[in-house]
Amino acid sequence: MTTVGLIRHGITEWNLLGKAQGISDIPLNETGRVQADKLGERLAGEEPWDLIIASDLCRATETAEIIGSKIGLSLHHTDETIREVNCGEAEGMTEEERLEKWGKEWRTRALGMEKHEDVAGRGVRFLEDVVQKHEGKRVLVVSHGALIGLTLKRLMPDTFQQTNMENTSITVLHHHEDRWDCSLYNCARHLI
């Protein structure tokens, strides 16, 4: 059985401002670093992990490095496949700014935004690759809220029709005999 811990990166200033980060390389803020530290401390007291992979965006790599420092693992590698949704022209804007510029139907406009089906597809391909390359291992993956949520919806549509990923939450998936199961979803108890 292969186990994958999907972690959303720590919080950033753009998260607080409600700006679409997408593929913009926005760093963690101090709160995000504390969140990652708390998750690392929590994971240090649980069953050990074998490796950490992160999105190549700095908010994910920094989260992974902080966690790794607590559990004694270096970042195995980064992968742009698990980047956040490319938000196109909407990147860096708040919902209010998008409404003001393009109106209520802004989501229907061709703004260079990546399609959710494509994001889910690359998330699933990444997980299939992890299972193939790291079969039987326990793999932490630090990525982004929309990518994780869309991937979960594609993998297990009956279980995940709606998703909401908290910053530094962990979702634990198990792959066994071509089946995915989820034993923990969007858990951020380390922040309480």
* pLDDT score, position 63: 98
Active site residues: 9, 84
Q: Is the pTM of this model over 0.75?
A: yes
Average pLDDT, the chain: 96
Q: Check the annotation: does 8 bind a ligand.
A: yes
- Percent of the chain at pLDDT exceeding 70: 100
* pLDDT score, position 110: 83
Q: Check the annotation: does 9 bind a ligand.
A: yes
Is 73 part of a structural domain of the chain?
yes
Is 136 part of a structural domain of the chain?
yes
Domain that holds residue 82: 2-87+114-191
Is 104 part of a structural domain of the chain?
no
Is 103 part of a structural domain of the chain?
no
**pLDDT, tens only, 119-171:** 999 999 999 999 999 999 999 999 999 999 999 999 999 999 999 999 999 99
**pLDDT, tens only, 58-83:** 999 999 999 999 999 999 999 999 99
Provide the CATH number for the domain around residue 148: 3.40.50.1240
* pLDDT score, position 107: 85
Q: Check the annotation: does 42 bind a ligand.
A: no
3-state SS string for the chain: CEEEEEEECCCEHHHHHCCCCCCCCCCECHHHHHHHHHHHHHHHCCCCCCEEEECCCHHHHHHHHHHHHHHCCCEEEECHHHCCCCCHHHCCCCHHHHHHHHCCCHHHCCCCCCCHHHHHHHHHHHHHHHHHHCCCCEEEEEECHHHHHHHHHHHCCCCCCCCCCCCCCEEEEEEECCEEEEEEEEECHHHC
Is 106 part of a structural domain of the chain?
no
Is 98 part of a structural domain of the chain?
no
Q: How many domains does the chain have?
A: 1
